[in-house]
Amino acid sequence: MSYAEILGLIMLFGMVAVIFIGFPISFTLLFLALIFGGFGLGWEQTFNLAYLQIWGAMKDEIFPAVPLFIFMGYMTEQAGLMERLFGALRSLLAPVRGSLYLAVILTATIFAMATGIVGAAVTVLGIMAAPMMIKAGYDARLSSGAIAAGGTLGILIPPSVMLVVMGPTMGVPVNLLYSAAFGPGFLLASCYIAYTLTRSFIDPKLGPPMTMAERKFAYDAMTTEKVGAPVVGLGLVCLMVMTYLVADLLLGQAGVPRLALAIGPFDVSAVALVPALLAAFPYFQNAYFRAVVLGIAPLSALIGFTLGSIVGGLATPTEAASCGAFGAALLALVYGRLGIASAGNAAVGTMVTSAMVLFLAVASTVFGAVFTKLGTANLITNTLLAVPLGDWWKLAVIMVIFFILGWPFEWPVIILVFMPIVLPVVEKLQLGLGKLDLLIWFGVLTAVNMQTAFLSPPVAMSAYYLRNVVPQWSLVTIYKGMADYMVIQVIVLLLLLLFPAIALWLPHAVR
């Protein structure tokens, strides 16, 4: 082992130790990279290497999508779209046992497709749903777990910011990572729903249905919407056209309207949407129908257009993110929530979060470049390849290491520092998949793993987000609630390991 490789190992263990003490991750990575690079490579070479890495990161055409997606998330939050969505789902599902669990998880799943971040979803869901759950007598452990686990779906389901950063690191198109993440993300949400509803049906005291008085209150709250029927019509038009385009993309053949194939012999073209809307227009005057549509259709249309254009290859992530950010601001304007205060809050939140993610990405890139130049990355890669284990066991070891690293580290460190170290190992695994499919699958496995780390003690940031807004629930209760859902996540991760098609069927469909 050479002097430079020893320095690299000291730098790696020093980073873990210093971050555990509590030093800021970004400054720690940059400081260690410059100091150890100076001693191991020379100060001039280290400076040039850091300069090239920073300049290369700034020129990457994918990174501008990060602040745009973050702004889209904050603006939809400021527009109150999450509250409207939760209200609509809560009222629609009122007669069902465990209806609030179901409304929370569905809201978190849909809103995850409009934010790509975790903290905002957990916080807003805690503020909205927790008081209702407490008042309705819902089980605190099951309720806190549903909010925390549902809120973490934003790290996995597109437009996940983590997947945007992961794409260039792995050399995989972001649209393929996005399409691969939908299957595991929706599978997780479905398992959460199945678990909560099963528990509620076995023991009705855990999640009783809403009473008639509560349903009346929910109805009154939903029918106070001041936006007129034309806006509802616009929302329905957007939703129906988006449905047509998605079906056209996935099901069609050359020269044949693809939506027709989805419903049998009936030829439904885009022109047929107009009389359908005219026939449905009388329902727009119904206050309840209007409230439900306003709660679900516009946000669904925004998500569909933004993500559909990426997955279908019609737009780059940056182009789609810019349209999504504009669409979120437009919805806030239509709903009368776009003011100086809301725009300022969204801008400040975007700047803070984007600065954290991008600075961490730059620092991680510099650290990884110096670490690789010292030769320690190759040393670790060769050591892992020489381990006398089968390929499946090597993959399992990498997943366990990533899970443990998810406790003290933010995901950019794992994606930008540790993932490049193990990628050469992953590319040589003989698991019956082509190289591109293997990388896509590994990326989604890592994303699910990172989501699991958000729920695992001792760090479990979701627990602290929830505890800050729901002081009635102790950290112990929240931890116990998250542990139940962590078991579900581990099961889904194992299913994804055993059945790669869960992640790969949609990338194959859109390629």
Reported as a single tens digit per residue, the pLDDT across 463-502 is 777 877 788 888 888 888 888 888 898 899 899 988 988 9
Q: Looking at residue 281, what is its pLDDT?
A: 56
Helix (DSSP H) and strand (DSSP E) numbers for the chain: 25, 0
Please list the alpha-helical segments (H only) found in 42-173.
43-59, 65-78, 81-92, 99-115, 119-136, 140-151, 161-170
What's the pLDDT at 124?
A: 76
Weakest-pLDDT range from 5-14, 79-88, 423-432: 79-88
Highest mean predicted confidence (pLDDT) among 15-24, 274-283, 312-321, 417-426: 417-426
Asked if the model's pLDDT at residue 212 lies above 80, the reply is: no
Pairwise CA distance, residues 153 & 6, whole Å: 39
pLDDT at 358: 80
The residue among 63 and 131 whose pLDDT is bigger is 131
Q: Residue 442's pLDDT band (boundaries 50, 70, 90)?
A: very high
Q: Is the per-residue pLDDT at 264 higher than 50? A: no
Checking if the pLDDT of 274 tops 60, the result is: no
pLDDT for position 104: 87
* pLDDT higher than threshold 60 for residue 265: no
- Identify the weakest region by mean pLDDT among 98-112, 280-294, 322-336: 280-294
Cα–Cα distance, 502 to 499 (Å, whole number): 6
Separation of alpha carbons 498 and 362, rounded Å: 35
Query: Helix/strand/coil (H, E, C) string of 467-504?
Result: HHHCCCCCHHHHHHHHHHHHHHHHHHHHHHHHCCHHHH
Averaged pLDDT, 86-97: 77
- For the stretch 331-358, pLDDT in tens is 888 777 778 888 888 888 888 878 877 8
What digits encode the pLDDT tens for the residues 363-394?
Answer: 888 888 888 888 887 787 788 778 788 888 88
- Is a pLDDT exceeding 70 seen at residue 247? no
pTM: 0.77
**Per-residue model confidence (pLDDT) at position 253:** 40
The burial class, CB within 10 Å (0-12 / 13-18 / 19+), for 415 is buried
Please tell me the predicted confidence (pLDDT) of residue 300. Answer: 76
What is the domain range of residue 378? 1-511
Q: In the structure, what pLDDT confidence band is assigned to residue 455 with cuts at 50, 70 and 90? A: confident
Nearest to 175 by CA among 186, 184, 166: 166
pLDDT band at 440 (very low <50, low <70, confident <90, very high): very high
Per cent of the chain over pLDDT 90 is 4
- pLDDT of 120 reads 65
Q: Is residue 181 over pLDDT 70?
A: yes
Position 244 pLDDT exceeds 60: no
> How much is the pLDDT for 75?
83
Contact between residue 89 and residue 83 where contact means Cβ atoms under 8 Å apart: no
Q: Which two tokens stand for residue 349?
A: 């939140």
Return the top range by mean pLDDT from 275-279, 424-428, 445-449: 445-449
* Sequential DSSP letters for 306-319: HHHHHHTTSS-HHH
Q: Tell me, what's the pLDDT at 217?
A: 66
53 vs 318: CA distance, rounded Å = 21
pLDDT score at 259: 38
- pLDDT above 60 (res 110): yes
Number of domains forming the structure of the chain: 1
Burial class (CB in 10 A: 0-12, 13-18, 19+), 334: middle
Residue 429 has pLDDT above 50, yes or no: yes
More confidently predicted of 233 and 467 = 467
Q: 288-329, pLDDT tens digit by residue?
A: 666 666 677 777 777 777 777 777 777 787 888 888 888 888
How many C-beta atoms lie closer than 10 Å to residue 200's C-beta?
Answer: 24
Q: Give the pLDDT band (50/70/90) at residue 403.
A: confident
Least confidently predicted of 199-203, 296-300, 430-434: 296-300
